Amino acid sequence: MQDSFNKRKEKILEFNKTLEELNLRKRAENTRPREIPDDLVCKCPKCMKFIIKDELILNEKVCPYCGYHYRLTSKERIISLLDLGYKELYTDLREKYTDFPGYEDKLNAAKNETNEDESILCVLGKIDGIKVLVGIMDSHFMMGSMGSVCGERVTRLFEDGKRLNLPVIIFTTSGGARMQEGVISLFQMAKTSSAIAKYKEKGLYVAVLTDPTTGGVSASFASLADITISEPKALIGFAGKRVIEKTIKEVLPPDFQTAEFQLEKGFLDMIVERKELKKTLSLILRLHNYN
């Protein structure tokens, strides 16, 4: 098993070397090399280099050249983070407030595209053998927007965490509250915040902010953790940069709302690369006497 994995990896690396040489020649033209089939490679949106898709997946969707962290689906996050075997929670919840024109169609389209039923997946699983409740948002599902089901799932996660004396970890990625649910979506900010306050009397809550964490999610449960971590270069903020610039009539620094900027300003505790995340979370849990 290990042998075939190594052989495969070797082959990819060799292929990538060739690809890199091609890149050097082709980058000036900024076109995809014709020799490489479309479904085998993708282009890093940050450094514009071509990457073999297999290599990107082996590298947990982090660009091997510039370290750009691609957005993960919730299932990909589970594979990267949890031990084998987990249980999905609160799967019986369905959106009730679907009167807004076109909302139901959008919901159904998102479900078909992502194979998920909401913007957050909650599971009971283990990290290095430590039992943990995990919520994982998915930006591919209506831009990770928070509606009533998302809010209810987050709330239940903390209620169960308190009842079962388990740590809670949430991976956030969101464009904010789900506008199609109007004020109901805004209620979720207060609801989740209140559940967290009760949980934190004795439980440990770790938030991992991934690209992008904005709007109502950043203004509620993403900002209320005991320990707040982020992946490198993630966008973290409330309103968009352009909106703020227009409002305050000032030019903001180029790194405004990046994870690095937020770390410097004290909003984050640390920035952790994806490949180090499992190890870091496991260490944090052990340090807090969960095992």
196 contacts Zn ion (rule: CB under 5 A)? no
Q: Which of residues 16 and 155 has its CB atom nearest to Zn ion in the complex?
A: 16
**Block residue for tokens 């991934």:** 210
**Six-digit token string for 97:** 């407030």
Q: Which of 56, 63, 134, 217 binds Zn ion (CB under 5 A)?
A: 63
d(CA 93, CA 237) in angstroms, rounded, equals: 29
Question: At closest approach, how far in Å is the CB of 210 from Zn ion?
Answer: 17
**Six-digit token string for 214:** 């904005």
Q: Is 164 within 8 Å of 129 (Cβ atoms)?
A: no
Q: Which of residues 63 and 235 has its CB atom nearest to Zn ion in the complex?
A: 63
> What are the helix and strand counts (H, E) for the chain?
10, 9
3-state helix, strand, coil in the chain (%, to 5): 45, 20, 35
For residue 242, with 0-12 CB atoms within 10 Å meaning exposed, 13-18 middle and 19 or more buried, which class applies?
Answer: exposed
Q: Which of residues 53 and 96 has its CB atom nearest to Zn ion in the complex?
A: 53
Q: Which positions ≥6 away from 73 have C-beta within 8 Å?
A: 114, 116, 138, 140
> Among 12-20, 36-44, 228-236, 261-269, which window interacts with Zn ion (CB under 5 A)?
36-44
d(CA 263, CA 268) in angstroms, rounded, equals: 5
> Among 40-48, 110-118, 132-140, 274-282, which window interacts with Zn ion (CB under 5 A)?
40-48
Question: Binding mask 42-61 vs Zn ion (x if CB under 5 A, - otherwise)?
Answer: --x-xx--------------
Question: At closest approach, how far in Å is the CB of 92 from Zn ion?
Answer: 41
Question: Binding mask 65-94 vs Zn ion (x if CB under 5 A, - otherwise)?
Answer: xx-x--------------------------
Question: At closest approach, how far in Å is the CB of 199 from Zn ion?
Answer: 38
Q: Which of residues 72 and 132 has its CB atom nearest to Zn ion in the complex?
A: 72
Q: Which of residues 59 and 193 has its CB atom nearest to Zn ion in the complex?
A: 59
d(CA 95, CA 51) in angstroms, rounded, equals: 39
> Among 41-49, 133-141, 144-152, 168-176, which window interacts with Zn ion (CB under 5 A)?
41-49
Size of the site for Zn ion (CB under 5 A): 7
Instruction: Give φ, ψ of 158 to 5 degrees.
Output: -75, -35
Interacting residue ranges for Zn ion, rule: CB under 5 A: 44, 46-47, 63, 65-66, 68
